[in-house]
């Protein structure tokens, strides 16, 4: 069972990770759109499905954070060696979501894999 604290941290992680993943997929979609590949329209269509799903998930995350009275402070990520720091407000206190860059990369890869699997399952049904 997931504790409230774990759920809140997952939502905060999602809030920071999903826009990065959306940017990566969109950049690849734009590159594929102008490519000479025969299946480019298929690839770009699947990328668009993935982007739309991630955007919907991000909106859901924003809504859940709002319900929990968690406000993300929109500043640029602070770099600290191998760590990324993202500030947010919770119960009137300024806190930081801290993630190791390698962990963030793994999380991004896992998200991409999950969304691609989901899109392929959706397009095959």
Q: Where are the beta strands (DSSP E) in the chain?
A: 70-72, 78-80, 83-90, 93-100
Query: Domain map of the chain by residue range?
Result: 4-124
pLDDT at 111 over 60: yes
Q: What is the pLDDT of residues 85-109, one digit of tens each?
A: 888 998 889 988 888 999 999 999 9
- pTM assigned to the model: 0.85
> What is the chain's length?
125
The Cα 22–Cα 43 span in angstroms is 15
Q: Is the pLDDT of residue 2 over 70?
A: no
Q: What tens digit of pLDDT does each residue of 53-62 get?
A: 999 999 999 9
Q: Is 95 helix (H, G, I), strand (E, B) or coil?
A: strand
d(CA 17, CA 37): 30
Is the pLDDT confidence value at 122 over 90? no
Greater confidence (56 vs 6) lies with 56
């Amino acid at each position: 069972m997931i504790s409230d604290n774990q759920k809140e941290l997952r939502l905060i992680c999602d809030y920071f990770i999903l826009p990065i993943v959306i940017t990566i997929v969109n950049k690849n979609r734009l590159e594929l759109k102008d490519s000479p590949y025969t299946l480019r329209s298929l690839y770009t269509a699947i990328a668009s499905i993935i982007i739309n799903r991630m955007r919907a998930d991000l909106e859901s995350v924003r809504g859940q954070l709002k319900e929990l009275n968690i406000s993300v402070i929109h500043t640029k990520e602070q770099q600290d060696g191998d760590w990324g720091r993202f500030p947010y407000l919770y119960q009137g206190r300024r806190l930081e979501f801290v993630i190791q860059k390698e962990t963030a990369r793994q999380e991004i890869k896992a998200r991409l894999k999950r969304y691609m699997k989901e899109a392929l399952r959706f397009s095959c049904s």
